[in-house]
Amino acid sequence: MPETSGPARGWVLPAVAGVASVAFGVGVGQLVAAFVAPASSPLVVVGSLLIDLAPPWAKDAAIALFGTGDKAALLVGIGLVLLAVAGAAGVLEARRPPWGMVVVGAVGVVGAVAAASRANASMLAIVPSAVAAIAAMLALTFLLRRLAPAPAPDTLSRRTIEPTRAAETGASRESSFDSATPPTATPPPTGVDRRRFLGWAGGAVALGALAALGGYALQAGARAVTAVREAITLPKAASTVTVPAGAELGIDGLAPVVTPNAEFYRIDTALAVPAVDPADWSLRIHGLVDREITLTWDELLALPLDESVTTLACVSNEVGGGLIGNAVWLGYPIRELLAEAGPSADADMVLSRSIDGFTASTPLEVLQDDRDAILAVGMNGEPLPAEHGFPVRMVVPGLYGYVSATKWVVDLEVTRFDAASAYWTDRGWSERGPIKLSSRIDVPRQGQSVSPGSAMLAGVAWHQHVGIAGVQVQIDDGEWRDAELATAINDDTWVQWKYEWADASAGSHTVRVRALGADGEVQTAKRQGVVPDGATGLDEVTVEVR
Contact residues for Mo ion (CB under 5 A)?
267, 314, 401-402
Whole-number minimum distance, CB 464 to ligand MTE, in Å? 13
3-state secondary structure of 436: coil
Q: Which is nearer to Mo ion, 24 or 402 (CB)?
A: 402
Residue whose C-alpha is closest to residue 513's, from 503, 499, 534, 495: 499
Which entry of Mo ion, ligand MTE, none binds 268, CB below 5 to 8 A by partner kind? ligand MTE
Whole-number minimum distance, CB 493 to ligand MTE, in Å? 15
CA–CA dist 241, 381 (Å, integer)? 12
The residue nearest Mo ion at its CB is: 314
Which entry of Mo ion, ligand MTE, none binds 407, CB below 5 to 8 A by partner kind? ligand MTE
Would you say 350 and 412 are in contact if contact means Cβ atoms under 8 Å apart?
yes
Chain residues binding ligand MTE by CB under 6 A are: 264-270, 312, 314, 354, 358, 388, 401-402, 405-408
CA–CA dist 293, 235 (Å, integer)? 22
Cis before 391 (ω within 30): yes
Give the gyration radius of the chain's Cα atoms.
31
Would you say 242 and 328 are in contact if contact means Cβ atoms under 8 Å apart?
no
Whole-number minimum distance, CB 99 to Mo ion, in Å? 45
Q: Which is nearer to ligand MTE, 219 or 354 (CB)?
A: 354
Which entry of ligand MTE, Mo ion, none binds 512, CB below 5 to 8 A by partner kind? none
CA–CA dist 510, 507 (Å, integer)? 10
Would you say 48 and 148 are in contact if contact means Cβ atoms under 8 Å apart?
no
The residue nearest ligand MTE at its CB is: 401
CA–CA dist 355, 411 (Å, integer)? 8
CA–CA dist 28, 8 (Å, integer)? 30
Instruction: Tell me the sheet residues that pair with 343.
Output: 289
Residue 21 CB: number of other CB atoms within 10 A?
A: 30
Q: Which is nearer to ligand MTE, 67 or 428 (CB)?
A: 428
Q: Which is nearer to ligand MTE, 176 or 404 (CB)?
A: 404
Q: Which is nearer to Mo ion, 21 or 311 (CB)?
A: 311
Q: Which is nearer to ligand MTE, 82 or 384 (CB)?
A: 384
Q: Which is nearer to ligand MTE, 380 or 472 (CB)?
A: 380
Question: CA dist 525 to 143, 313, 479, 539, Å?
Answer: 61, 20, 15, 9
Whole-number minimum distance, CB 314 to ligand MTE, in Å? 3
Q: Which is nearer to Mo ion, 331 or 401 (CB)?
A: 401
What is the SS3 assignment for 295-332?
Answer: EEHHHHHHCCCEEEEEEEECCCCCCCCCCEEEEEEEEE
Whole-number minimum distance, CB 442 to Mo ion, in Å? 21
Whole-number minimum distance, CB 515 to ligand MTE, in Å? 20
CA–CA dist 262, 124 (Å, integer)? 18
Question: CA dist 307 to 239, 246, 304, 366, 533, Å?
Answer: 6, 19, 10, 19, 29
Question: CA dist 361 to 55, 404, 437, Å?
Answer: 50, 7, 21
Would you say 257 and 247 are in contact if contact means Cβ atoms under 8 Å apart?
yes
Would you say 272 and 35 are in contact if contact means Cβ atoms under 8 Å apart?
yes
Whole-number minimum distance, CB 270 to ligand MTE, in Å? 6
Whole-number minimum distance, CB 401 to Mo ion, in Å? 4
Which entry of Mo ion, ligand MTE, none binds 388, CB below 5 to 8 A by partner kind? ligand MTE
Q: Which amino acid is at 539?
A: D
Q: Which is nearer to ligand MTE, 23 or 315 (CB)?
A: 315
DSSP state of 217: H
Q: Which is nearer to Mo ion, 390 or 429 (CB)?
A: 429
Whole-number minimum distance, CB 77 to ligand MTE, in Å? 35
DSSP state of 125: G
Q: Which is nearer to ligand MTE, 358 or 462 (CB)?
A: 358
Would you say 119 and 262 are in contact if contact means Cβ atoms under 8 Å apart?
yes
CA–CA dist 14, 89 (Å, integer)? 8
Whole-number minimum distance, CB 216 to Mo ion, in Å? 32
Whole-number minimum distance, CB 262 to ligand MTE, in Å? 12
Which entry of Mo ion, ligand MTE, none binds 499, CB below 5 to 8 A by partner kind? none
Would you say 241 and 330 are in contact if contact means Cβ atoms under 8 Å apart?
no
Q: Which is nearer to ligand MTE, 13 or 327 (CB)?
A: 327
Whole-number minimum distance, CB 441 to ligand MTE, in Å? 22
